[in-house]
Amino acid sequence: MLDSAIYYRKAFAHLAISDSNYKSCPTAFEWDIIERICVFLGVFYDVTTLFSGSKYPTANLYYPNVFMAYLTLHESMSSSDEYMKDMGTSMMDKFQKYWSDFNLTLAIAVVFDPRYKLHFIEWSYKKIYGEGNPQYDVVDGLLKTTFDEYACHVSFTTSNHATTSSVRKVGEETSDDTRHLSSIRAKLLDFDEFQSNESTSNKKSELQLYLEEPRMERTLELDVLAFWKSNEFRYPVLARMARDFLTIPISTVASESTFSASGRVLDQHRSSHGKETLEALICTKDWLFAGSNEVPLEELAEDIMSMSLDGGPESGASNSVNNPDSLNQVLNRFRSLTGSGP
């Protein structure tokens, strides 16, 4: 609403000049405050929209967006504008009450976004706690510990059979072939084992290789789940971790439930709707919130022609799809349920 008001700022000024009855036009000082508030609240609007329950975002988006909200509040608290400073201070109190304590697993989830990795955690923790704070080391240690646990589990479940076969093959060669080798070749076998052990000790883990790779551009539009699906064979352990961490829900209650719309479906005057009507109302509102998954009304009506709107199976429903009168009846009934016009 503030965006719309700012867009018509000149129109309000012309109206104040042309209409002497218009006395509530904001002053230049008030317009300046409105613009600053609009920019300030825009950050929280974007975060709220992202965390909407209609399409649940992956967990890697939680920490960066909550941190940007925190940073916005922190900067407003040191503003020279007393109005913005008081607003930021009041909002920071609420922010600390509800958002200051969060699970570190949501910070680790950021690492699985190749646009951020550990670099974002390190940068943001310096902003919050300053240089040399041990909080970053806690996250880094938890990440490595969790990776080691996953690595043990994945290597045990996927390589146990291959390892057993390999050991048996080496044993057969040792028992059957070593006695036919010369003493020099037998000594070289010891060298091969030494070199193998040294190579294993110097080998970098998947986590190290992934973190050492350059980050992708932050502004790049990226489907993180698709990224890890395509790199599953390259990083089998990290891909398993990413699958588990990225599926953690950001919120346990959908935003539609937080700002409950049930009062617009059932209230003291309308409390006896049939279950089919209630289902139609709730589902329709969910479809409307989904936005990009819109289905044409006529196509949707054809899909529900075989379903009873009155509670029981309709005879001849399969033939009603080709009946224009029946189709119009469904369209009218659907419009009456959704409140849409003809």
User: What is the model's pLDDT at position 265?
Assistant: 55
Q: Which residue type does 73 have?
A: L
In this structure, the dihedral spanned by the alpha carbons of residues 245, 249, 251 and 256, taken in order and rounded to 10 degrees, is 160
In a 10 Å sphere around its CB, with 0-12 CB exposed, 13-18 middle and 19+ buried, how is residue 88 labelled? buried
CA distance 163 to 53: 46
User: What is the model's pLDDT at position 288?
Assistant: 73
User: What is the model's pLDDT at position 169?
Assistant: 45
User: What is the model's pLDDT at position 267?
Assistant: 55
User: What is the model's pLDDT at position 311?
Assistant: 46
The C-alpha angle with vertex 163 and arms to 160 and 169, in degrees rounded to 5, equals 145
CA distance 171 to 166: 9
The C-alpha angle with vertex 317 and arms to 315 and 321, in degrees rounded to 5, equals 155
User: What is the model's pLDDT at position 237?
Assistant: 93
CA distance 126 to 104: 16
**In Å, what is the CA distance from 213 to each residue of 124, 210, 318?**
20, 5, 59
Q: Residue 320: name the closest of 331, 311, 254 by CA.
A: 331
The C-alpha angle with vertex 220 and arms to 219 and 226, in degrees rounded to 5, equals 140
Q: Residue 144: name the closest of 211, 199, 201, 203 by CA.
A: 211
CA distance 231 to 247: 17
Instruction: Extract long-range pairs of 3-7: CB within 8 Å, 24+ residues apart.
Output: 3/38, 5/34, 6/31, 6/34, 6/35, 6/38
User: What is the model's pLDDT at position 83?
Assistant: 85
CA distance 141 to 149: 12
Instruction: Give the HSE-up count for residue 91: Cα atoms under 13 Å, Cβ half-sphere.
Output: 18
Dihedral sign from CA coordinates of 112, 113, 118, 122: negative
Token pair in block for residue 292: 């990009």
DSSP string, 8-41: THHHHHHHHHH-TT---PPPHHHHHHHHHHHHHH
Per residue of the chain (342 residues), give pLDDT as tens: 777 788 878 888 888 888 888 888 888 888 888 888 888 888 888 888 787 765 667 888 888 998 999 999 988 998 888 888 998 899 999 888 877 777 888 899 999 999 999 999 999 988 888 887 788 899 999 999 999 999 988 766 655 544 444 444 444 444 455 555 566 666 666 767 766 665 555 678 899 999 999 999 998 988 999 999 999 999 999 999 999 999 887 766 555 555 555 555 555 555 566 777 777 877 777 777 665 555 666 776 666 665 544 444 444 444 444 555 555 665 666 666 555 555
3-state secondary structure of 217: coil
Q: Which residue type does 177 have?
A: D
3-state secondary structure of 333: helix
